[in-house]
């Protein structure tokens, strides 16, 4: 079906319509920052979010296990008739994107790493960028590789900021503890005379520290949020590789472990209240 002016944020006048939701999954609640960015960017779309909380964290699991988990998560979403799968998880994006795309050739599969890498390459002026991520993501080198694939001349500093994850989950993304932790992680890097001019938030938890980081760093530093760049990548697919939604039907939530913690901690990441009764517990 083709309609004219369906309300998408892109300027195409003609779109085909597909009322199915966009599927989003993560190992837990972190991916809710990606979902929040998607909801903001695509107000006419509906979403189905799956948090594989029973098996988190993915970051310490083997690549083979993460690939298997990711395929199972995507299968849950496609069984519920989604029109795209967004992998809102750095570890799963790094480990499983080719397998996911091969398993679901009929729909687009979008990860968080490529859009973030493309955004920093576009943003930097002095060819020096810093990637903040968890230890697993830094060690796996996925952002470093993705950036090097686009521009091997860029100098990439990867900084493990593991404590940020706990601060975000505790609701301490702003305040004195977060400020001190950020100063400790980033002070040396940004005190350099020729330090990075671009900072990538390479973990779905880190948008909760965005304001803390912005206040700490010079205004000249570009802050790239991989949740937002991922949402922008999905926006670019609407009308191209998938049909346009017909107005938000709301977002549905699935979790593989207790809905209570998912809802309570998830509210912080989603930026709006989330109730346990709105979270369906499923087994994968």
Q: Under the rule (CB under 8 A), what is the footprint of a copy of itself?
A: 53-54, 56, 60-61, 135, 162-163, 165-167, 169-170, 172, 176-177, 180-181, 184, 257, 261
CB of 46 to a copy of itself, least distance (A): 29
Q: For residue 50, list its beta bridge partners.
A: 25, 254
Nearer Cβ to a copy of itself, position 154 or 165?
165
Residue closer to a copy of itself (CB basis): 78 or 267: 267
Between residues 54 and 237, which has the closer beta carbon with respect to a copy of itself?
Answer: 54
Query: In angstroms, what CA-CA distances link 271 with 11, 41, 277?
Result: 28, 15, 18
Q: What's the min distance (Å) between Cβ of 137 and a copy of itself? A: 14
d(CA 207, CA 259): 23
Which pair of structure tokens corresponds to residue 208? 């909760």
Instruction: Tokens for 105, please give them.
Output: 């050739």
Q: Which of 73, 89, 161, 244 is catalytic?
A: 89
Nearer to a copy of itself, 172 or 253 (CB): 172
Is the Cβ–Cβ distance between 195 and 189 less than 8 Å? yes
The distance of closest approach from Cβ of residue 141 to a copy of itself in the complex, given in angstroms and rounded to an integer, is 15
Q: Is 89 in the active site? A: yes
Q: Taking the alpha carbons of 273, 48, 248, 11 in that order, is the dihedral positive or negative? A: positive
Catalytic residue among 6, 73, 161, 203: 203
Tell me how far, at minimum, the Cβ of 183 lies from a copy of itself, in Å.
9
Judged by DSSP in three states, 243 sits in coil
> Which is closer to a copy of itself, CB of 119 or CB of 265?
265
Parallel, antiparallel or unpaired: strands 22-26 and 14-16: unpaired
The token duo for 84 is: 């795209």
Instruction: Quickly list DSSP for 59-128.
Output: TTS-HHHHHHHHHHHHHHHHHTT-S-EEE--HHHHHHHHHHHHHH-TTS-EEESHHHHHHHHHHH-SSSE
The CB-of-182 to a copy of itself minimum distance in angstroms stands at 10
Nearer to a copy of itself, 60 or 155 (CB): 60
Among the residues of the chain, which ranges form H helices? 32-41, 63-79, 90-103, 113-123, 135-140, 142-150, 162-170, 176-191, 210-216, 226-235, 259-270
Nearest approach in angstroms of CB 177 to a copy of itself is 5
Which residues are catalytic, by number? 89, 203
């Amino acid at each position: 079906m083709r309609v004219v002016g369906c309300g998408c944020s892109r300027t195409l006048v003609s779109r085909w319509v597909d009322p199915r939701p966009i599927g989003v999954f993560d190992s837990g609640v972190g991916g809710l920052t990606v979902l929040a960015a998607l909801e903001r960017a695509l107000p006419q779309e509906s979403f189905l979010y799956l948090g594989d909380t029973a098996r988190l964290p993915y970051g310490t699991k083997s690549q083979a296990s993460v690939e298997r988990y990711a395929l199972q998560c995507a299968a849950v979403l496609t069984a519920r008739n989604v029109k795209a799968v967004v992998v809102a998880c750095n570890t799963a994006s790094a480990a499983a994107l080719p397998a996911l795309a091969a398993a679901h050739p009929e729909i687009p599969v979008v990860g968080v790493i490529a859009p973030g890498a493309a955004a920093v390459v576009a943003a930097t002026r002095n060819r020096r960028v810093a990637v903040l991520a968890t230890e697993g993501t830094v060690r796996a080198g996925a952002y470093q590789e993705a950036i090097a694939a686009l521009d091997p001349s860029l100098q990439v500093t990867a900084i493990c900021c593991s404590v940020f994850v706990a601060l975000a989950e505790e609701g301490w993304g702003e305040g004195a503890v977060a400020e001190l932790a950020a100063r400790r992680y980033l002070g040396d890097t940004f005190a350099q005379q020729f330090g990075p001019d671009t900072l990538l938030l390479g973990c779905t938890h880190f948008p909760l520290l965005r304001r803390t980081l912005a206040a700490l760093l010079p205004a000249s530093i570009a802050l790239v949020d991989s949740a937002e760049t991922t949402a922008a990548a999905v926006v670019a697919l609407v009308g191209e590789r998938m049909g346009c939604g017909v107005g938000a039907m709301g977002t549905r939530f699935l979790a593989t472990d207790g809905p209570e913690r998912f809802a309570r901690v998830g509210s912080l990441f989603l930026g709006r209240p989330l109730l346990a009764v709105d979270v369906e517990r499923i087994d994968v």
